[in-house]
Amino acid sequence: MDESNGTESWQQSLRAVLSALNQTLHGAVPCPGEPPAGTVGTTRGGRNDNAYMYILFVMTLFAATVGSLILGYTRSRKVDKRSDPYHVYIKNRVSMI
pLDDT at 49: 76
pLDDT at 1: 45
| Cα gap 8→19, rounded to integer Å | 16
Predicted TM-score of the model (pTM)? 0.38
CB atoms within 10 A of CB 77: 9
| Cα gap 70→50, rounded to integer Å | 31
**pLDDT per residue rounded down to tens, the chain (97 residues):** 455 666 778 888 888 888 888 887 776 666 666 665 555 455 555 667 788 889 999 999 999 999 999 999 888 777 656 667 777 777 666 666 5
